[in-house]
Amino acid sequence: MNGKSMRVFGNIIWGAATLGLSACGMREWFVTSDPVEVVEVARSQLCSAEQPEARIRVFESPAAVAGWQQLTGIDLRTGPLAQGHYALIEMGQHHTGGYGIAISREARIRDDVLQIYATFFSPSARGVVTQVITSPCVLVRLPGGYYREVEVYDQDGALRASSPSGSVAS
Q: For residue 107, give every residue at least 6 positions away whose Cβ sits within 8 Å of its Cβ, in sequence order, or none.
A: 35, 36, 37, 38, 114, 115, 116, 117, 143
Tell me the Cα Rg of the chain: 23
Q: Is residue 3 scored above 60 in pLDDT?
A: no
| Dist. CA 138–CA 140, nearest whole Å | 6
Q: What is the pLDDT of residue 28?
A: 45
Structural domain harbouring 81 = 32-162
Per-residue confidence band for 27, with pLDDT thresholds at 50, 70 and 90: very low
Q: For residue 159, give every residue at least 6 positions away whose Cβ sits within 8 Å of its Cβ, in sequence order, or none.
A: 151, 152, 153
8/79 same-domain check: no
User: Three-state SS for 138?
Assistant: strand
| Dist. CA 44–CA 76, nearest whole Å | 7
Q: Is residue 57 scored above 80 in pLDDT?
A: yes
Q: Is residue 15 scored above 60 in pLDDT?
A: no
99/158 same-domain check: yes
44/118 same-domain check: yes
On whether residue 167 sits in a domain, the answer given is: no
Q: Is residue 161 scored above 70 in pLDDT?
A: yes
| Dist. CA 40–CA 24, nearest whole Å | 36
90/124 same-domain check: yes
Q: What angle do CA 140, 101, 165 make, to 5 degrees?
A: 50
| Dist. CA 48–CA 139, nearest whole Å | 13
Around 15, how many Cα atoms within 13 Å sit in the side-chain half-sphere? 6
Q: Which residue has the higher pLDDT, 162 or 124?
A: 162
Q: What is the pLDDT of residue 14?
A: 45
Q: Is residue 126 scored above 90 in pLDDT?
A: no
How many structural domains comprise the chain? Answer: 2
61/130 same-domain check: yes
Q: How many CB atoms lie within 10 A of CB 106?
A: 12
91/63 same-domain check: yes
Mean of the pLDDT values across residues 78-84? 90
152/100 same-domain check: yes
On whether residue 168 sits in a domain, the answer given is: no
Name the average pLDDT for the chain. Answer: 81
On whether residue 100 sits in a domain, the answer given is: yes
